[in-house]
Amino acid sequence: HKLVDLIAACPKTELHLHLEGSLEPAMVFALAERNGVILPYASVAELQAAYQFNNLQEFLDVYYAGMSVLLHEADFYDLTWAYLQRVHQDGVVHVEVFFDPQAHLERGIPLATQIHGIRRALEQGQAELGISFRLILSFLRHLSEESAFATLAQAEDFFPLIDGFGLDSSEKGHPPEKFARVFARCKELGFKITLHAGEEGPADYVWQALNLLHTDRIDHGNRSLEDPQLIQTLAERQMTLTVCPLSNLKLRVVQQMEQHPLIQMLDSGLKVTINSDDPAYFGGYMMDNYRALIEALPLTSEQLHQLARNAFTGSWLSPEEQQPHL
């Protein structure tokens, strides 16, 4: 398809990517072997067969189980390096990636192990693949405010290695307001913040993310479309939404790609970007997402360029750093 070739050749940035969600089944097995971890699955095929989700929680259960093979610095390095090599093939030149430290701290993996492994790969990606990066520490919203504050305190030694903070995991019943004080502190410390909101949770959670937590980006944001006033506010503020089409399909946020509201979002003036979220679990990386959209929706070349450009202007690169990509 001509449009696929066009967007493939276009420099791209990924703003919504959970590193632990790029853990491919083959690497789960390789790391289990290397680390002597016993898996409840007999084969890669058996593990892959478990990747059938009816909602966010069913995915998260498998996602947290999968990452149990990540124990050592080298594991976090291998995970991150594999992701960077993969998206390099897709024409991705800048990434802003999440990691979930609380999920590893709970298993006794020190923050230093996690961050040093991840950063070593990110710096190698910058040097050898020309991929610039930002690293985002994401709090788990199903855990308490106290746990988030404790994690923030532990992260203090690593502040120079972190660029911002995020909020992910089970959305329903865990509104942004639960973490208002945590993110106020992050902002006070000079960090950017970006919050998952409106994936499964209601439009009200997006309002909270905007007006109570003063977020710099919204991750997902699909359910904003249920509130015309919210659509208008997001459009006026040119708030970046990191939309994840294959994720939306796999977690049944949309029932079919043909029904994905991406074009409606663009037509409403929303600043939308395309991202892969958890590519090892949702069926593909950056170009797989674009390919699925192009096959399902009547997107124009102008709209595709707009999507790619939005990600650069919505990134945390400085205007000078963005310029060569626009």
Which residues belong to the active site? 199
How many other C-beta atoms can be found within 10 angstroms of the C-beta atom of residue 160? 6
CA 148 to chain centre: 19
14 binds ligand HPA (CB under 6 A): no
Closer CB to Zn ion, 90 or 277, in the complex: 277
Report the nearest approach of Zn ion to the CB of residue 24 (Å).
17
Residue 61 is assigned to a ligand binding site: no
Single out the residue of 129, 33, 122 nearest to residue 80, CA to CA.
122
Q: In which residue are the tokens 């090892």 written?
A: 280
Q: Which of 13, 114, 169, 215 binds ligand HPA (CB under 6 A)?
A: 169
Under the criterion CB under 6 A, does residue 21 sit at the interface with ligand HPA? yes
Which of 247, 273, 289, 303 touches ligand HPA by CB under 6 A? 247
Least gap, CB of 127 to Zn ion (angstroms): 27
Residue of the chain from 277, 285, 304, 311 that contacts Zn ion (CB under 5 A): 277
Sign, CA torsion 259/263/264/265: positive
Binding status of residue 12 toward ligand HPA by CB under 6 A: no
In the complex with ligand HPA, the residue whose CB is nearer, 21 or 101, is 21
196 annotated to bind ligand: yes
Encoding tokens for residue 186? 């992050």
Task: Taking each helix axis as running N to C, give the angle between helix 25-35 and helix 73-89, from 0 to 180 degrees, rounded to the nearest 10.
Answer: 160
Binds 216, which of Zn ion, ligand HPA, none (CB < 5 to 8 A, cut-off by type)? Answer: none
The tokens for 202 are: 């209601």
**Which residue number places its CB atom closest to ligand HPA?**
168
Interhelix angle 111-124/73-89, nearest 10 degrees: 30
- Nearest to Zn ion by Cβ — which residue? 277
Contact assessment for residue 99 and residue 79, using Cβ atoms and an 8 Å cutoff: no
Alpha helices for the chain (secondary structure H): 2-8, 25-35, 44-49, 56-66, 73-89, 101-105, 111-124, 145-155, 180-188, 203-207, 228-236, 245-250, 262-267, 279-282, 286-296, 301-313, 319-322
By CB under 6 A, what part of segment 111-150 binds ligand HPA? none
Shortest separation between residue 323's beta carbon and Zn ion, angstroms: 28
Contact between 96 and ligand HPA by CB under 6 A: the answer reads no
Residue 5 among known ligand-binding residues: no
Encoded one letter per residue, x for contact with ligand HPA by CB under 6 A and - for no contact, window 275-294 reads: --xx----------------
C-alpha 103/C-alpha 270 separation (Å) is 33
**Residue 290 CB-half CA count within 13 A:** 28
User: Which of 29/64 has CB closer to ligand HPA?
Assistant: 64
Choose between 224 and 247: whose C-beta lies nearer to ligand HPA. 247
Q: Which residues bind ligand HPA (CB under 6 A)?
A: 18, 21, 56, 63, 168-169, 196, 199, 247, 277-278
Q: Show binding-site residues for Zn(2+).
A: 16, 18, 196, 277
Q: Which residues bind Zn ion (CB under 5 A)?
A: 277
Q: Show binding-site residues.
A: 16, 18, 196, 277-278
